[in-house]
Each structure stands twice: as C-alpha cells, then as structure tokens.
Amino acid sequence: MLPREKLEALARRYQEIDLALCEPEVLADYQKMQKLNKERSDIEPVVRAQEKLMKAAARLQEDKAALSDPDLRELVEGEIPVLESEIAALEDEIRRMLLPADPNDKRNTIVEVRGGEGGEEAALFAADLFRMYLRFAEARKWKVEIMSLSEASAGGTKEVIALFSGQDVYSKLRYEAGVHRVQRVPVTEAQGRIHTSTATVVVLPEAEDVEVQIEDKDLRFDIAASGGPGGQGVNTTNSAVQITHLPTGMIVKCQDERSQIKNKAKALKVLKSRLLDLECQKREAATTAERRGMVGTGERAQKVRTYNFPQNRVTDHRIGLTLHKLDRIMEGDLDELITALRNSHQAEMLGGAGDPAHVADRRMEDA
C-alpha cells in the first residue's frame, strides 16, 4: 500500500508553493523564490505520478463497472489488464520516489582511480577507465579538476584523483566504486595473448568545511620536488605537497600544480573527503563492510565489473547485467549500467530481490 497521507500532504504542499510563487513579496525575494522553486521541482515528479495513478485507477473502476454491459464487455476486458499493469508500474515508481534521499547524492564527488594487479597493463587500464569517466562527465557538462596525477612509464596512470562538480554527480558515480577487471591483449604483449588486469575506483562525496574539522597539530606537511615518468614536463621545483593526518595515519600527496599553495589546498580537500568517508563508515558499520569488500585489495577475484575487449562485452557482477557494447561504454556511455545499478539498489531498499528488468532474466558471466 502507498502512504496515502504522505502523498496527500505532498500534493497540498505543491499547491501551496504554486500560490506562494505568485505573491509579489516572494517574487521580490530571489533567494526565497529559488528555494521554493527547488522544493517544487523535488515534489513535482511524485505529484504528477500520483495524478496519473488516480486517473488510471478511475478508468479501471469504470471498466470494471462496464463489465456488466454486454455492448462494452469485450472492449473493457482487453483494457483492464493494461490498466492493472500501468497502475502496478506507477505504484512501484512512486514507492521509489518516496525512498529517503541520500544526503550525499547532490554533492560534488572525488573519484580516485588506481592501477591494481597487472603491472603496466593495469596502469594503462586505469588511464582508460578515467578517460571513460571524463567522457561521461563531458556529456553532462560537469567540471573535472585533477587533484593529483601519477603517471606510469608506459603511458598509463598509476593513480589519478579528480574532483567532479555538477548536478547529481555522486548519485551517478557512487556505483562505480570497486575493482574493475579488464581482459584484453595489451599493447605490451608481443605474442597476442589475452591478459587479465585490474584497476580500483573509489568514489567519495566532497566534504564541506563545517563537516570535517582538522587541527593543525594533527597534520604533518612534507614538501618535495614533483615527480613523473620523465621528459620536459616534469616539475623540478619543490611544489609537491604530502600531508599526513597523524591520528589516522592517512597520507595524501598532490603534485599536479606548479604552485605549492595550490597543491596544499587540493591535498587538504582530498584529505577532508577521505576523513568524512571514514567518519561515515564508523557510523554505519554495515556500509563499512560493504565498501571495503567492494574495493578490497584490487585482486581479480574481488571484481565488481569485467571489461572483455575481444567480445566487446561488459558484465557488472553485482546485478548480473551483461552488455555487448563495450566500445560505447569506454566512450562514456554508462547510462544503462548506472540506471540498472540504481534500480537494483532501490529494489533492495524496498525489500525486493532486485530489479526484474535487469536481474531476473540475466545470468552472470564470469568469463
């Protein structure tokens, strides 16, 4: 059953906001108008879905009443199952909309991608993964700021940390956390053999200053020359900043900027987000176990997703979803994967076993 009182309250609030937005004093107050418009946009999808549900339910009642009419019986007998299916889908959609929102969903997000098992090929795959996220961000007009970058000698990426800013960033990227496995013939392979390597992805909501307070006495700053794989682009000035958070032993290093001050600011931002994540983990022991289990040590057996290049196939092992469009996914076409993961997560929150459209009829492929 749907929470009727809550839905009625949302409908009343929607009408109140519509009336308030017509008042001169509200129109003259930009901040208040902006706040009301945001609240209205948050409520509107639920109100519209409820309106559609009520119309469908009314039509269903009319059709059932018409069953006693011999002239209409054949017509409504065909329409009733369609309406019943539509009503069930709308009810499910409304239940999903009413799920409590994650307070982090609209935050900017720090993404950390690192090469795992597989040596130079793992570093090359990490670079490809990060490029995939850049393409995904570009399509949504998000801003991406590199916080730290450590390149490998063969042209791959040992580690990259970046801040993604834009609309609903964390809600889109949160499901990317974990060990990603690749199966392909590396450019470093002379005999054409397929190799298996991994890269790890960590996704952290950006911390606000009011949420994480760090005392100066808890920090140790080390300054060094920036490093790199070689060439003219290597920064030889003492601009790289490494911050050690003494109470936790957490270490963050940033060397992407030529300015020591900018590197320090970036390192502090990453450190605060990691500390916020650590605090959230302490508060939610179950989430801690799930997150650590997801990333683990970067070993192949701990994968959440496999990218099989010879078969142009990607499999997300958490929901058993396989798509044969790896070439498009590596160009940032992640929407189908992310939508399926979000639907599965919401179904679990509602007490279901998973999203039937993507889970029940698909088998897991671990090749």
Instruction: With respect to residue 236, please indicate whether it lies within any of the assigned structural domains.
Output: yes
Same domain, residue pair 90 and 177: no
Q: Is residue 36 part of a domain?
A: yes
**Pair 236, 124 in one domain:** yes
Residues 89 and 114 in one domain: no
What is the model's pLDDT at position 158?
92
Whether 61 is covered by a domain: the verdict is yes
Q: Are 45 and 97 in contact (CB under 8 A)?
A: yes
Amino acid 281 reads Q
- Whether residue 113 sits in one domain with residue 68: no
Q: What backbone torsions phi and psi does residue 228 show, to the nearest 5 degrees? A: 180, 180
Q: Looking at 97, 132, 152, which one is the last position of a domain?
A: 97
- Looking at residue 227, its pLDDT comes to 59
Residue 149 lies in a domain: yes
Task: Give the residue from 291, 269, 303, 278 showing the smallest Cα distance to 110.
Answer: 269
pLDDT digits over 154-190, tens only? 788 999 999 999 988 999 999 999 999 999 998 767 7
Q: How far is CA 312 from the centre of its chain?
A: 23
In the predicted model, is pLDDT for residue 64 greater than 60? yes
| pTM tops 0.85, yes or no | no
84 and 211 both lie in a single domain: no
Q: Are residues 198 and 120 in the same domain?
A: yes
Residue 113 structure tokens: 């991608």
In whole angstroms, give the CA distance from residue 367 to residue 355: 23
Domain harbouring 305, CATH code: 3.30.70.1660
Average pLDDT over residues 68-87: 90
In a domain, 292, yes or no: yes
* Residues 194 and 267 placed together within one structural domain of the fold: yes
Lowest mean pLDDT among 82-91, 195-204, 343-352: 343-352
In whole angstroms, what is the distance from residue 254 CA to residue 311 CA? 38
For residue 353, being part of any structural domain is answered with no
The residue out of 277, 310, 343 marking a domain boundary is 310
Q: Are residues 174 and 90 in the same domain?
A: no
Percentage of residues of the chain with pLDDT beyond 70:
83
Question: CA separation (Å) from 18 to 11, 15, 55, 149, 299?
Answer: 11, 5, 22, 48, 54
pLDDT confidence of residue 101: 74
Contact 334, 173 (CB under 8 A): no
SS (H, E, C) the chain: CCCHHHHHHHHHHHHHHHHHCCCHHHHCCHHHHHHHHHHHHHHHHHHHHHHHHHHHHHHHHHHHHHCCCCCCHHHHHHHHHHHHHHHHHHHHHHHHHCCCCCCCCCCCEEEEEEECCCHHHHHHHHHHHHHHHHHHHHHCCCEEEEEEEEECCCCCEEEEEEEEECCCHHHHHHHHCEEEEEEECCCCCCCCCCEEEEEEEEEEECCCCCCCCCCHHHEEEEEECCCCCCCCCCCCCCCEEEEEECCCCEEEEECCCCCHHHHHHHHHHHHHHHHHHHHHHHHCHHHHHHHHHHHCCCCHHHEEEEEECCCCEEEECCCCEEECCHHHHCCCCCHHHHHHHHHHHHHHHCCCCCCCCCCCCCCCCCC
Q: Report d(CA 126, CA 160) in Å as an integer.
A: 9
pLDDT at residue 239 tops 90: no
Q: What is the mean pLDDT of residues 124-145?
A: 96
Strands in 157-165's sheet, in edge-to-edge order, are 143-151, 157-165, 109-115, 195-205, 178-184, 303-308, 313-316, 321-323
- pLDDT of 298 > 50? The answer is no
What CATH number is attached to the domain comprising 43?
1.20.58
User: Alpha-carbon distance 220 to 198, whole Å?
Assistant: 32
- Does residue 139 sit in the same domain as residue 283? yes
Rounded to whole angstroms, how far apart are CA atoms 255 and 148? 6
> Based on the domain organization, do 219 and 147 belong to the same domain?
yes
Which of 55, 76, 97 terminates a domain? The answer is 97
- % of the chain exceeding 90 in pLDDT: 46
Please determine, for residue 57, whether its predicted confidence score (pLDDT) is greater than 90: yes
Domain extent, residue 91, equals 4-97
255-259 long-range Cβ contacts below 8 angstroms, 24+ apart: 255/148, 255/149, 255/150, 255/226, 255/227, 256/146, 256/147, 256/148, 256/149, 258/226
Residues 84 and 133 in one domain: no
Highest mean pLDDT among 3-12, 218-227, 228-237, 299-308: 3-12
Give the C-alpha separation, 226 to 234, whole Å. 7
The yes-or-no verdict on residue 323 having pLDDT over 80 is yes
Do 208 and 282 lie in one domain? The reply is yes
Going by pLDDT thresholds of 50, 70 and 90, the confidence category of residue 351 is confident
pLDDT at 333: 96
Task: Tell me, yes or no, whether 357 lies in a domain.
Answer: no
Q: What is the tally of structural domains in the chain?
A: 2
| Inside any domain, residue 363 | no
